[in-house]
Structure 1
Amino acid sequence: MNIAIDYGNSSAKVGVFDGHELVERKIFTSPEQLRPFLQNFSGDCLIISSVSQDAAEVASWGVHIKKRFILTSSLPLPIENRYSTPKTLGVDRLAGVCGAQALFPKTSALVIDAGTCITFDFLDSGGNFLGGAISPGLRMRFQAVHTFTKRLPQVEPKGNSPLIGDSTESCIQSGVENGLVAEIDGIVSQYRSLFPDLKVILTGGDVPFFENRLKAPIFAVPELVLSGLNSILIHNARS
């Protein structure tokens, strides 16, 4: 059994894998919750991707795990990383494209991670990660409308806003929500014009908001990052 940990800013997502199959998923909101779980886990391998906690310290808690890996820009990958500044690349983005490669080998893929920011990450059919784009996410846009104006209110997402808003609140919802959907549809269309066989994979916390609103055919894979981490783990454990 292998264990993959995606440690974000507010919580740790943990996936337990039997080979390539995800058999258990847990979320821990503090190190105090995660530590005893890892200390009592017996398995073959562990991999951790972290943007907040000390990854080496977290890995050290897995005292009964035979091999432990930390995802950094120098860890060998099952893809070729062509990013011009690999040390500045978020490890969650790396894991996402590795998850895409595992799902659709030898096929071009665009990973859209809808979270605090919207990230677009492109992997060509030869397994080369070329980069993509970063854009403000759904809630960041609502926050910006309020923060950078004097009178516009803080508004929450509605989920199915009409095109024509009839109040200040509904106008903000229409602009943010319909604008973001149009942005994603437009970017996907540009990629598809260049790569007709493109697979589009949607992941991240805002998947439920987008998955039925985008025009392009997509694959919603909420656990893509965990699957990608497991793919990287298997690649390194074999070598």
Structure 2
Amino acid sequence: MRTLALDIGNTAVKYGCFEGDLLSETAVAASIETISSLVERVRPEHIIISSVAAEVAGWAQQWQQHVKGRVLEFKPATTSLPIRNAYATPHTLGADRLAAAVAAAWFGPAHDTLIIDAGTAIKCDLVEAGHTFRGGSIAPGLRLRFEALHTFTGRLPLVARPTDVDAAVTLIGDDTQAAIRSGVLNGAVAEINGFIAEYRLRYPDLRIVLAGGDAGFFQPRLKGRIFVIPELVLIGLHRILVHNVEN
């Protein structure tokens, strides 16, 4: 079965083409408008669309003309799932968080798993016993933290995070830019390590899965064994689509 998973986020449109359960192609599209040519080239049997930003009902109707099977718009509150969703307000739950949870449950059935999705926001979410999404926390991502300091103060400069993920981040900044980098980057690392420590007190056999655009920065700086799965959300979307097609 050939499927196409579309993850429309706040800053990018990501897609994944699957042959069975194999992710055969993935990339970031220039815009949602460019996906139509991808659909014509790949010719998937089924498509799933997830969006935390744009409305996609119109696009789903358009792509349905080129697809023999289903074009599924993923809605966390109503779409059938292969796991239990214990979130108190599923209508407010971000589709990317729930898709990542489905993928984590598929990779680690029967395991308690903490998902750290480090992108525009840093989300830490728990999948309990490999079958129940419990929820977690949402905090600003690295770029948002740098931008907030610049936007909401009078004189602090806009500082970009290092593009080299292995770059050393000094603890004691000896100028303003270095002090901002220390506060944002070291602070975010300490924050996530603190979450990991607290979760491990409650779930001693906890597995940690790391994803998101800033995963490369965090991976060598987090404590304990970390599984890095960059395409976690796309894999989860694919599993949700398969579940709905087969059931």
- Calculate the TM-score normalised by the size of structure 2: 0.92
Please say if residues 18 and 24 of structure 2, whose CA atoms lie closer than 8 Å, have aligned partners that are also in contact: yes
Task: Report what 1:191 is aligned to.
Answer: 199
SS of structure 2 residue aligned to 1:161: coil
Structure 1 SS opposite 2:135: strand
- Return the offset for 1:41: 3.7
Q: 1:126 to 1:218 in 2, by over 3 A?
A: closer
Query: 1:74-85 alignment to 2 at 5 Å?
Result: 74-85=78-89
Instruction: Judge conservation of contact 1:2–1:230 (CA < 8 Å) in 2.
Output: yes
Work out the CA distance in 2 between the residues paired with 1:89 and 1:26: 25
The offset of 1:39, in angstroms, is 3.6
**For residue 70 of structure 1, what is the aligned residue in structure 2?**
73
TM-score relative to the length of structure 1? 0.95
Once residues 21 and 191 of structure 2 are traced to their aligned partners in structure 1, the CA distance between those partners, rounded to angstroms, is 34
Residue by residue over 1:114-150, the C-alpha shift from the partner in whole angstroms, topping out at 9 and shown as x without a partner, is 1111111111005111110011111111112222222
Q: Give secondary structure in 1 for the equivalent of 2:221.
A: coil
| Paired-residue identity, % | 45
- Alpha-carbon separation, structure 1, partners of 2:232 and 2:130: 20
- The superposition leaves residues 89-127 of structure 1 with CA deviations (integer Å, 9 ceiling, x where unpaired) of 001111010110111111111111111111111110051
Aligned length, in residue pairs: 239
CA distances 1:169-212 after superposition (whole Å, capped 9, x unpaired): 11111111111101100100100111111111111111111111
Give yes or no for the alignment of 1:205 onto 2:213. Answer: yes
Aligned position for 2:35: 34
| Equivalent in the alignment of 1:180 | 188
What is the deviation of 1:83? Answer: 0.4
The answer as to 2:224 corresponding to 1:216 is yes
* Contact 1:41–1:64 under 8 Å retained in 2: no
**Contact 1:47 1:68 survives alignment (8 Å):** yes
The corresponding residue for 2:241 is: 233
CA RMSD of aligned residues (A): 1.4
SS in structure 2 opposite 1:43? coil
Asked if structure 2 preserves the Cα contact closer than 8 Å seen for 1:41 and 1:62, the reply is no
Counterpart in the other structure of 1:16: 17
Give 2:157's aligned residue: 153
CA distance in 1: counterparts of 2:168 and 2:185, whole angstroms: 8
Unaligned runs of 5+ in 1: none
